[in-house]
């Protein structure tokens, strides 16, 4: 049996029908899963990252439901349609249809959502549970100023009506905080989406730490002014060059540690 530490399906090549664009997408998706594992943004085999398959309308890729994020491999990714029906599945493990229905609702309705990431981390769920949500207390949080939507808890998204609430609540934002559940983050590609999730997690941790230190009523928080919030949020836009530098650095780290994600 293959082990977690490597060589999962090492002898199986990428499928012949896979385009170069899909190959690149698969590799970046595997990198993102490995980075989530490195950061601890995992819930064993639960939560998901999904991407549109370049050049294939209505086709999506995600990790097999049963693989740990640290096992992610480009050639193992499951391809499905918008309804979660399997198109190709090298591992035979399938996907979590209940999880993917959340992603597909966003993919279908939101043009900028080529990639959708979902997490269940302590800090992001804690902030989602605050009525005022993510507060402009840190420069990290200002990246998301005016770009976060919220949706009240409604259990499983097992009806069309519930799923329709997802893109409506997201609007043209970058993040949708599902109350009592966790965030959905969107991006035009994997690396942009990862960068947003990383800095959202950081902003939420800083907020929880800040508020936990403010039990003393004499402690007064410092708040940036509205104009600075707006200016900083705008300043974070069009940051592709910086995101590319971050991604290259993170990929080098994975290459040094364990480079089988591309297989």
Q: What is the pLDDT of residues 125-184, one digit of tens each?
A: 999 999 999 999 999 999 999 999 999 999 999 999 999 999 999 999 999 999 999 999
Local structure of residue 65 (DSSP, 8 states) = T
What are 53-61's contacts with CB under 8 Å, separation 24+?
A: 53/22, 53/25, 53/79, 54/19, 54/21, 54/22, 54/24, 54/25, 55/19, 55/21, 55/22, 56/22, 58/82, 59/87, 60/100, 60/103, 60/104, 60/107, 61/22, 61/25, 61/26, 61/29
Which residue pairs, CB below 8 angstroms and at least 24 apart, start in 257-262?
A: 258/5, 258/6, 258/34, 260/6, 260/7, 260/8, 260/10, 260/73, 261/27, 261/30, 261/31, 261/33, 261/34, 261/72, 261/73, 261/74, 262/27, 262/30, 262/73, 262/74
Q: Quick check: 59 and 79 in contact, CB under 8 A? A: yes
Summarize pLDDT for 29-88 with one digit per residue, the tens. 999 999 999 999 999 999 999 999 999 999 999 999 999 999 999 999 999 999 999 999
Pairing of strands 175-178, 148-151: parallel
Q: Are 143 and 207 in contact (CB under 8 A)?
A: no
Q: Where are the domains positioned within the chain?
A: 20-256
pLDDT band at 257 (very low <50, low <70, confident <90, very high): low
Convert 45-64 to b/e letters by CB count within 10 Å (16 or more is b): bebbbbbbbbeeeebbbbbb
- Where would I find the beta strands (DSSP E) of 136-179? 148-151, 175-178
Rounded Cα gap, residues 263 and 259, in angstroms = 9
Residue with tokens 């994997």: 190
Class of domain 20-256: alpha beta
* Cα dihedral: 230, 133, 182, 240 (round 10): 10
Please say if the pLDDT value at position 251 is more than 60: yes
CA–CA gap between residue 36 and residue 195 (Å, rounded)? 11
| pTM of the full structure | 0.90
Give 129's Cβ-side CA count (13 Å radius).
10
Q: What is the mean pLDDT of the chain?
A: 91
Say what the pLDDT of residue 126 is: 97
The Cα 129–Cα 216 span in angstroms is: 22
pLDDT of residue 7: 31
């Amino acid at each position: 049996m293959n082990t977690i530490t490597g060589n999962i399906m090492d002898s199986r090549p990428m499928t012949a029908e896979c385009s170069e664009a899909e190959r690149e997408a698969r590799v970046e998706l595997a990198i993102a899963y490995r980075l989530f594992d490195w950061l601890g943004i995992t819930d064993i085999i639960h939560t998901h990252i999904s991407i549109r398959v370049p050049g294939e309308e209505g086709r999506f890729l995600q990790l097999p439901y049963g693989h740990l994020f640290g096992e992610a491999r480009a050639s193992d990714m499951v391809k499905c349609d918008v309804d979660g029906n399997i198109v190709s599945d090298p591992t035979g493990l399938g996907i979590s249809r209940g999880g993917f229905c959340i992603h597909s609702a966003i993919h279908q309705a939101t043009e900028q959502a080529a990639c959708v990431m979902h997490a269940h981390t302590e800090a992001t769920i804690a902030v989602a549970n605050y009525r005022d949500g993510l507060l402009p207390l840190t420069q990290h949080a200002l990246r998301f100023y005016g770009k976060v939507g919220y949706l009240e808890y409604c259990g499983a998204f097992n009806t069309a009506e519930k799923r329709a609430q997802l893109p409506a609540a997201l609007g043209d934002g970058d993040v949708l905080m599902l109350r009592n559940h966790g965030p959905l983050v969107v991006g035009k590609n994997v690396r942009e989406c990862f960068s947003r999730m990383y800095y959202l997690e950081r902003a939420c941790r800083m907020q929880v730490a800040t508020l936990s230190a403010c039990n003393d009523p004499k402690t007064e928080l410092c708040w940036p002014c509205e104009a600075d919030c707006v200016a900083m949020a705008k300043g974070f836009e069009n940051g592709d060059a910086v995101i590319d530098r971050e991604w290259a650095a993170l990929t080098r780290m994975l290459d040094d540690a364990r480079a089988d994600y591309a297989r």
